[in-house]
Structure 1
Amino acid sequence: MAEPLTRVDSAVQGLPESPTEKLDITKPLTRVDSAVQGLSESPPKAKASHRRASSSITGLLGIKEAWESRTKLQVAPETQKTGWKINTSPSTVEDKEILQKSLVTPIVKSIDLVTRSGLVMTARNKFKKENGVTIKDALDAIHKINKKRADDELDEPYLAGFEWVPEHTEYDEEKEKDEMEKDWQRLVIHLSATPGVSNFGGKKKKKAAAE
Structure 2
Amino acid sequence: MTGAPLTKVDSAVEQPDAAKKHRRSSSSATNVHNINDLEKEGVEIKISPETQQLNWKVNTSPGTIDDKEALKKPLCNPMVKKIDLHFPLGLGVTARNLKGVTIKDALDAIHKQFKKKQDDELELPYLAGFEWDKDESYTRFVVHLKKDGAPVSKKSKKKGAAEE
The bucket for the TM-score relative to the shorter chain is: 0.7 to 0.9
Choose which of 101, 108, 111 in structure 2 pairs with 1:143: 111
How does 1:40-189 map onto structure 2 within 5 Å? 51-52=23-24, 53-55=26-28, 57-125=29-97, 128-129=98-99, 132-166=100-134, 180=135, 183-189=137-143
Secondary structure of 1:183 counterpart: coil
Compute the displacement of 1:197 (Å).
4.6
Which runs of 5 or more residues in structure 1 are unaligned?
1-41, 44-48, 167-179, 199-211
TM superposition shift of 1:96:
0.5
Letter in 1 for 2:130: F
Q: Quote the sequence identity (%).
A: 51
Gaps of 5+ in 2: 1-8, 11-20, 153-164
For the 8 Å contact 1:160–1:196, the answer to whether it is kept is: no
Q: In structure 2, what residue type is equivalent to 1:152?
A: D
TM-score of the pair, normalised by structure 1: 0.59
Deviation of residue 137 (structure 1)?
0.2
Q: Which structure dedicates a bigger proportion of its chain to strand?
A: 2
**Structure 1 contact 165–184 (Cα < 8 Å) conserved:** yes
Equivalent residue for 1:193? 147
CA distance in 2, matches of 1:133, 1:196: 26
| Over 2 Å off, 4+ runs | none
What's the CA shift for 1:196? 4.0
**Structure-2 separation of matches of 1:195 and 1:134:** 21
Which letter does structure 1 place at the counterpart of 2:30? T
* Separation (CA, whole Å) in 1 of partners of 2:149 and 2:43: 32
Counterpart of 1:154, as a letter, is L
Q: CA RMSD of the aligned region, Å?
A: 2.0
TM-score, normalization: structure 2? 0.75
Greater Rg over alpha carbons, structure? 1
